[in-house]
Protein backbone atom coordinates (compact mmCIF):
# COMPACT_ATOMS: atom_id res chain seq x y z
CA UNK A 1 0.00 0.00 0.00
CA UNK A 2 2.96 2.31 0.56
CA UNK A 3 4.43 1.48 -2.84
CA UNK A 4 1.13 2.07 -4.63
CA UNK A 5 0.54 5.36 -2.81
CA UNK A 6 -2.54 4.21 -0.88
CA UNK A 7 -0.71 5.00 2.36
CA UNK A 8 1.81 7.75 3.03
CA UNK A 9 5.09 6.67 4.64
CA UNK A 10 5.63 8.01 8.17
CA UNK A 11 9.26 8.64 7.27
CA UNK A 12 11.60 8.18 4.33
CA UNK A 13 10.56 8.09 0.70
CA UNK A 14 9.68 5.60 -2.03
CA UNK A 15 10.83 6.08 -5.61
CA UNK A 16 8.96 4.37 -8.45
CA UNK A 17 9.86 4.27 -12.11
CA UNK A 18 7.23 3.31 -14.66
CA UNK A 19 3.67 2.03 -14.49
CA UNK A 20 2.53 0.05 -11.46
CA UNK A 21 -0.14 -2.67 -11.43
CA UNK A 22 -1.19 -4.11 -8.10
CA UNK A 23 -3.32 -6.83 -6.54
CA UNK A 24 -3.47 -5.89 -2.88
CA UNK A 25 -6.82 -7.13 -1.62
CA UNK A 26 -9.48 -9.45 -2.93
CA UNK A 27 -12.00 -7.37 -4.85
CA UNK A 28 -10.01 -4.14 -4.66
CA UNK A 29 -10.90 -1.91 -7.61
CA UNK A 30 -14.14 -3.79 -8.33
CA UNK A 31 -17.75 -2.75 -7.78
CA UNK A 32 -19.89 -5.68 -6.56
CA UNK A 33 -23.05 -4.53 -8.37
CA UNK A 34 -21.35 -4.29 -11.76
CA UNK A 35 -20.89 -7.25 -14.07
CA UNK A 36 -17.58 -8.89 -14.81
CA UNK A 37 -17.51 -7.14 -18.19
CA UNK A 38 -18.11 -3.71 -16.64
CA UNK A 39 -15.56 -4.31 -13.91
CA UNK A 40 -12.87 -5.21 -16.42
CA UNK A 41 -13.18 -1.76 -17.97
CA UNK A 42 -13.42 0.01 -14.62
CA UNK A 43 -10.51 -1.81 -13.00
CA UNK A 44 -8.34 -1.42 -16.09
CA UNK A 45 -9.06 2.33 -16.10
CA UNK A 46 -8.00 2.55 -12.44
CA UNK A 47 -4.75 0.83 -13.41
CA UNK A 48 -4.16 3.38 -16.17
CA UNK A 49 -5.35 1.60 -19.32
CA UNK A 50 -7.23 3.52 -22.00
CA UNK A 51 -10.53 2.09 -23.26
CA UNK A 52 -9.08 1.43 -26.71
CA UNK A 53 -6.31 -0.66 -25.14
CA UNK A 54 -8.86 -2.57 -23.03
CA UNK A 55 -10.93 -3.25 -26.17
CA UNK A 56 -7.86 -4.72 -27.82
CA UNK A 57 -6.98 -6.95 -24.84
CA UNK A 58 -10.50 -7.76 -23.68
CA UNK A 59 -10.66 -11.29 -25.12
CA UNK A 60 -7.24 -12.16 -23.69
CA UNK A 61 -8.29 -10.91 -20.24
CA UNK A 62 -11.50 -12.95 -20.30
CA UNK A 63 -9.74 -16.05 -21.61
CA UNK A 64 -7.02 -15.91 -18.96
CA UNK A 65 -9.52 -15.33 -16.14
CA UNK A 66 -11.73 -18.19 -17.31
CA UNK A 67 -15.00 -16.40 -16.46
CA UNK A 68 -16.59 -16.20 -19.91
CA UNK A 69 -19.80 -17.94 -18.79
CA UNK A 70 -20.23 -15.37 -16.00
CA UNK A 71 -19.08 -12.27 -17.85
CA UNK A 72 -22.44 -10.52 -17.58
CA UNK A 73 -23.13 -11.60 -13.99
CA UNK A 74 -22.71 -9.08 -11.13
CA UNK A 75 -19.44 -9.98 -9.45
CA UNK A 76 -21.04 -9.97 -6.00
CA UNK A 77 -22.13 -13.46 -7.02
CA UNK A 78 -18.54 -14.49 -7.85
CA UNK A 79 -16.58 -16.85 -5.63
CA UNK A 80 -13.35 -15.65 -4.04
CA UNK A 81 -11.42 -17.65 -6.62
CA UNK A 82 -13.25 -15.92 -9.49
CA UNK A 83 -12.49 -12.54 -7.91
CA UNK A 84 -8.80 -13.45 -7.78
CA UNK A 85 -8.73 -14.74 -11.36
CA UNK A 86 -10.38 -11.62 -12.75
CA UNK A 87 -8.24 -9.25 -10.70
CA UNK A 88 -4.98 -10.92 -11.67
CA UNK A 89 -5.97 -11.17 -15.32
CA UNK A 90 -6.69 -7.44 -15.59
CA UNK A 91 -3.48 -6.48 -13.77
CA UNK A 92 -1.42 -8.92 -15.85
CA UNK A 93 -2.58 -7.33 -19.12
CA UNK A 94 -1.66 -3.78 -18.13
CA UNK A 95 1.95 -4.45 -19.22
CA UNK A 96 3.30 -2.83 -16.05
CA UNK A 97 6.86 -1.93 -15.17
CA UNK A 98 6.17 -2.96 -11.56
CA UNK A 99 3.69 -5.68 -10.54
CA UNK A 100 2.63 -6.00 -6.88
CA UNK A 101 0.90 -9.22 -5.83
CA UNK A 102 -0.11 -9.43 -2.16
CA UNK A 103 -1.47 -12.81 -0.97
CA UNK A 104 -4.52 -12.79 -3.25
CA UNK A 105 -3.43 -15.86 -5.22
CA UNK A 106 -3.88 -18.02 -2.12
CA UNK A 107 -7.61 -18.31 -2.86
CA UNK A 108 -7.21 -19.55 -6.44
CA UNK A 109 -7.17 -23.19 -7.49
CA UNK A 110 -3.88 -24.93 -8.19
CA UNK A 111 -4.19 -24.78 -11.98
CA UNK A 112 -4.84 -21.04 -11.96
CA UNK A 113 -2.02 -20.37 -9.48
CA UNK A 114 0.30 -22.22 -11.83
CA UNK A 115 -0.89 -20.02 -14.74
CA UNK A 116 -0.26 -16.92 -12.64
CA UNK A 117 3.26 -18.01 -11.70
CA UNK A 118 4.04 -18.70 -15.37
CA UNK A 119 2.69 -15.27 -16.28
CA UNK A 120 4.82 -13.59 -13.61
CA UNK A 121 7.91 -15.47 -14.81
CA UNK A 122 7.17 -14.05 -18.24
CA UNK A 123 7.16 -10.58 -16.68
CA UNK A 124 10.54 -11.25 -15.08
CA UNK A 125 11.96 -12.37 -18.43
CA UNK A 126 10.84 -9.02 -19.89
CA UNK A 127 12.51 -7.05 -17.11
CA UNK A 128 9.37 -6.24 -15.07
CA UNK A 129 9.94 -5.86 -11.33
CA UNK A 130 7.62 -8.20 -9.41
CA UNK A 131 6.91 -7.73 -5.70
CA UNK A 132 5.37 -10.96 -4.43
CA UNK A 133 3.94 -11.12 -0.89
CA UNK A 134 3.07 -14.59 0.35
CA UNK A 135 3.17 -17.09 3.20
CA UNK A 136 3.52 -19.90 0.65
CA UNK A 137 7.18 -20.70 1.28
CA UNK A 138 7.51 -23.07 -1.68
CA UNK A 139 6.37 -20.49 -4.19
CA UNK A 140 8.65 -17.85 -2.64
CA UNK A 141 11.67 -20.15 -2.82
CA UNK A 142 10.97 -21.25 -6.40
CA UNK A 143 9.86 -17.92 -7.85
CA UNK A 144 11.86 -15.18 -6.11
CA UNK A 145 15.58 -14.53 -6.32
CA UNK A 146 15.55 -12.09 -3.39
CA UNK A 147 13.16 -11.98 -0.45
CA UNK A 148 12.44 -9.98 2.68
CA UNK A 149 11.16 -11.26 6.02
CA UNK A 150 9.07 -8.69 7.92
CA UNK A 151 7.96 -9.04 11.53
CA UNK A 152 6.07 -6.40 13.54
CA UNK A 153 6.69 -3.87 10.78
CA UNK A 154 10.47 -4.34 10.85
CA UNK A 155 12.74 -5.99 8.30
CA UNK A 156 14.26 -9.10 9.90
CA UNK A 157 16.15 -10.27 6.82
CA UNK A 158 16.66 -9.29 3.20
CA UNK A 159 18.71 -11.31 0.74
CA UNK A 160 18.61 -14.70 -0.98
CA UNK A 161 15.10 -16.14 -1.15
CA UNK A 162 16.17 -19.58 0.09
CA UNK A 163 17.80 -18.06 3.16
CA UNK A 164 14.76 -15.86 3.78
CA UNK A 165 12.54 -18.95 3.76
CA UNK A 166 14.86 -20.64 6.25
CA UNK A 167 14.83 -17.57 8.50
CA UNK A 168 11.03 -17.40 8.40
CA UNK A 169 10.74 -21.12 9.11
CA UNK A 170 13.05 -20.81 12.11
CA UNK A 171 11.15 -17.76 13.39
CA UNK A 172 7.89 -19.73 13.27
CA UNK A 173 9.49 -22.54 15.25
CA UNK A 174 10.80 -20.16 17.89
CA UNK A 175 7.46 -18.36 18.13
CA UNK A 176 5.66 -21.62 18.83
CA UNK A 177 8.08 -22.72 21.51
CA UNK A 178 7.58 -22.27 25.22
CA UNK A 179 9.66 -19.58 26.97
CA UNK A 180 13.28 -20.74 26.95
CA UNK A 181 13.70 -20.85 30.72
CA UNK A 182 10.69 -23.15 31.12
CA UNK A 183 11.65 -25.20 28.08
CA UNK A 184 15.03 -26.05 29.56
CA UNK A 185 13.36 -27.42 32.69
CA UNK A 186 10.85 -29.57 30.80
CA UNK A 187 13.14 -31.67 28.61
CA UNK A 188 16.84 -32.13 27.99
CA UNK A 189 17.88 -33.49 24.60
CA UNK A 190 21.24 -35.02 23.75
CA UNK A 191 23.16 -34.28 20.55
CA UNK A 192 21.96 -36.27 17.53
CA UNK A 193 23.98 -39.35 16.60
CA UNK A 194 24.24 -40.99 13.15
CA UNK A 195 24.86 -44.76 13.09
CA UNK A 196 25.52 -47.08 10.16
CA UNK A 197 24.24 -50.67 9.88
CA UNK A 198 27.01 -51.95 12.17
CA UNK A 199 26.13 -49.42 14.87
CA UNK A 200 29.26 -47.38 14.21
CA UNK A 201 28.82 -43.64 14.66
CA UNK A 202 29.79 -41.52 11.67
CA UNK A 203 28.66 -38.46 9.71
CA UNK A 204 29.54 -39.38 6.12
CA UNK A 205 27.36 -41.78 4.14
CA UNK A 206 26.79 -42.81 0.52
CA UNK A 207 23.60 -42.32 -1.53
CA UNK A 208 21.00 -44.95 -0.62
CA UNK A 209 22.83 -46.07 2.51
CA UNK A 210 20.73 -46.79 5.58
CA UNK A 211 21.31 -44.60 8.63
CA UNK A 212 19.95 -44.72 12.15
CA UNK A 213 19.37 -41.28 13.61
CA UNK A 214 19.05 -41.28 17.37
CA UNK A 215 18.88 -38.86 20.28
CA UNK A 216 18.06 -39.13 23.97
CA UNK A 217 15.35 -37.17 25.78
CA UNK A 218 15.21 -36.68 29.55
CA UNK A 219 11.87 -35.55 30.98
CA UNK A 220 12.05 -33.03 33.79
CA UNK A 221 8.28 -32.80 33.83
CA UNK A 222 5.52 -35.35 33.09
CA UNK A 223 4.35 -35.47 29.47
CA UNK A 224 1.04 -37.11 28.58
CA UNK A 225 1.97 -38.18 25.06
CA UNK A 226 5.40 -37.17 23.78
CA UNK A 227 5.80 -36.82 20.02
CA UNK A 228 9.15 -36.81 18.24
CA UNK A 229 9.70 -35.31 14.81
CA UNK A 230 12.51 -35.59 12.27
CA UNK A 231 13.43 -33.54 9.21
CA UNK A 232 16.14 -33.65 6.55
CA UNK A 233 16.97 -30.28 4.99
CA UNK A 234 19.37 -29.64 2.12
CA UNK A 235 21.95 -27.13 3.33
CA UNK A 236 22.48 -25.58 -0.11
CA UNK A 237 19.00 -24.11 -0.53
CA UNK A 238 17.17 -25.06 2.69
CA UNK A 239 14.83 -27.36 0.79
CA UNK A 240 12.97 -29.71 3.15
CA UNK A 241 13.68 -33.12 1.61
CA UNK A 242 11.83 -35.15 4.21
CA UNK A 243 9.94 -34.73 7.46
CA UNK A 244 7.84 -36.93 9.69
CA UNK A 245 6.95 -37.51 13.32
CA UNK A 246 6.03 -40.39 15.59
CA UNK A 247 2.48 -39.03 15.66
CA UNK A 248 2.24 -38.89 11.88
CA UNK A 249 3.51 -42.48 11.74
CA UNK A 250 0.77 -43.49 14.24
CA UNK A 251 3.36 -44.55 16.80
CA UNK A 252 1.73 -44.26 20.21
CA UNK A 253 4.33 -43.11 22.71
CA UNK A 254 3.46 -43.94 26.33
CA UNK A 255 3.20 -41.15 28.91
CA UNK A 256 6.50 -39.98 30.36
CA UNK A 257 7.05 -39.46 34.07
CA UNK A 258 9.41 -36.95 35.61
CA UNK A 259 13.00 -38.19 35.56
CA UNK A 260 12.42 -40.78 32.83
CA UNK A 261 14.53 -40.98 29.68
CA UNK A 262 13.68 -42.04 26.13
CA UNK A 263 15.99 -42.95 23.28
CA UNK A 264 14.44 -41.98 19.95
CA UNK A 265 15.59 -43.86 16.85
CA UNK A 266 14.65 -43.23 13.24
CA UNK A 267 15.97 -45.56 10.54
CA UNK A 268 15.88 -44.15 7.03
CA UNK A 269 17.46 -44.83 3.64
CA UNK A 270 19.36 -41.81 2.35
CA UNK A 271 17.72 -41.81 -1.09
CA UNK A 272 18.80 -38.25 -1.83
CA UNK A 273 21.52 -36.71 -4.01
CA UNK A 274 25.06 -36.26 -2.67
CA UNK A 275 25.59 -33.14 -0.57
CA UNK A 276 25.35 -31.76 2.95
CA UNK A 277 22.09 -31.96 4.90
CA UNK A 278 20.80 -30.62 8.18
CA UNK A 279 19.00 -33.08 10.41
CA UNK A 280 16.41 -31.50 12.68
CA UNK A 281 14.22 -32.87 15.42
CA UNK A 282 11.42 -31.65 17.61
CA UNK A 283 9.80 -32.80 20.83
CA UNK A 284 6.15 -31.97 21.41
CA UNK A 285 3.42 -32.96 23.83
CA UNK A 286 -0.09 -33.89 22.67
CA UNK A 287 -1.15 -30.25 23.20
CA UNK A 288 1.31 -29.39 20.36
CA UNK A 289 3.49 -27.29 22.68
CA UNK A 290 7.03 -27.39 21.30
CA UNK A 291 9.52 -28.26 24.04
CA UNK A 292 12.67 -28.68 21.98
CA UNK A 293 13.73 -28.14 18.39
CA UNK A 294 17.01 -28.19 16.54
CA UNK A 295 17.82 -27.23 12.99
CA UNK A 296 21.48 -26.29 12.72
CA UNK A 297 23.57 -28.48 15.01
CA UNK A 298 23.43 -31.88 13.31
CA UNK A 299 24.76 -32.20 9.78
CA UNK A 300 25.22 -35.27 7.65
CA UNK A 301 27.32 -35.54 4.50
CA UNK A 302 26.42 -37.80 1.59
CA UNK A 303 29.19 -38.44 -0.90
CA UNK A 304 29.59 -40.76 -3.86
CA UNK A 305 27.85 -41.43 -7.14
CA UNK A 306 24.07 -41.63 -7.34
CA UNK A 307 22.32 -43.63 -10.06
CA UNK A 308 19.62 -40.97 -10.43
CA UNK A 309 19.22 -37.20 -10.61
CA UNK A 310 16.54 -34.88 -9.29
CA UNK A 311 15.52 -34.30 -5.70
CA UNK A 312 14.99 -37.89 -4.51
CA UNK A 313 16.20 -41.33 -5.50
CA UNK A 314 13.18 -43.60 -5.99
CA UNK A 315 15.40 -46.71 -6.16
CA UNK A 316 14.58 -47.41 -9.82
CA UNK A 317 14.93 -50.81 -11.44
CA UNK A 318 15.14 -51.20 -15.19
CA UNK A 319 14.71 -54.19 -17.49
CA UNK A 320 15.11 -54.37 -21.27
CA UNK A 321 14.23 -57.60 -23.06
CA UNK A 322 13.89 -58.70 -26.62
CA UNK A 323 10.35 -59.26 -27.90
CA UNK A 324 8.90 -60.67 -31.09
CA UNK A 325 8.55 -57.82 -33.66
CA UNK A 326 5.14 -59.22 -34.58
CA UNK A 327 3.96 -58.37 -31.04
CA UNK A 328 4.68 -54.68 -31.70
CA UNK A 329 2.89 -54.80 -35.05
CA UNK A 330 -0.14 -56.49 -33.48
CA UNK A 331 -0.34 -53.86 -30.72
CA UNK A 332 -0.12 -51.06 -33.28
CA UNK A 333 -2.95 -52.63 -35.27
CA UNK A 334 -5.11 -52.98 -32.15
CA UNK A 335 -4.56 -49.31 -31.29
CA UNK A 336 -5.55 -48.34 -34.82
CA UNK A 337 -8.79 -50.34 -34.60
CA UNK A 338 -9.60 -48.82 -31.19
CA UNK A 339 -9.16 -45.30 -32.53
CA UNK A 340 -11.27 -46.04 -35.59
CA UNK A 341 -14.08 -47.45 -33.47
Taking the CB of residue 154, how many other CB atoms lie within 10 A of it? 7
Does the pTM surpass 0.75? The reply is no
- Nearest-Å Rg of the Cα atoms of the chain is 27
Q: Could you tell me which residues are beta bridge partners of residue 275?
A: 302
Give the chain's domains with CATH numbers.
Answer: 20-134 (3.40.50.300), 180-302 (2.70.50.60)
Extended strands (E) in the chain: 20-23, 98-102, 129-133, 146-151, 154-160, 187-189, 193-195, 204-205, 210-219, 227-234, 240-245, 261-269, 275-284, 290-294, 299-302
The pLDDT of residue 228 is above 80:
yes
Which one of 13-17, 26-30, 250-254 scores highest in mean pLDDT? 250-254
Q: Within 13 Å of residue 78, how many CA atoms lie on the same side as its CB?
A: 33
290-294/154-160 β-pairing: unpaired
Angle between helices 110-125 and 80-92 (to 10 degrees): 20
How far does Cα 157 stand from its chain's mean position?
18
Determine the Cα–Cα distance for residues 225 and 254; give it in Å rounded to an integer: 6
Cα–Cα distance measured from residue 190 to residue 179, given in angstroms and rounded to the nearest whole number: 20
Tens digits of per-residue pLDDT, 297-325? Answer: 688 999 988 777 778 778 788 889 888 77
Q: At residue 176, does pLDDT exceed 60?
A: no
Which candidate, 5, 19, 29, places its Cα nearest to that of 93?
19
Amino acid sequence: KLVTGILEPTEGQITLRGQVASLLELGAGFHPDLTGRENIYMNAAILGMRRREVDRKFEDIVEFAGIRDFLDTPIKRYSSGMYARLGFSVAAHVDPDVLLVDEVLSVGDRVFRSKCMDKMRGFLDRGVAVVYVSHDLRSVASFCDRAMVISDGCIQYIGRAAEAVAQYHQACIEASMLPSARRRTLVDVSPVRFLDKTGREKQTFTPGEEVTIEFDVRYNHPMAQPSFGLSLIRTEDRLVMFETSSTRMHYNTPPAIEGACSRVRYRIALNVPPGEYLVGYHVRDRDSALYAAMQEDARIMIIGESISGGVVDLAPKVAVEEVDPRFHEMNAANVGRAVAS
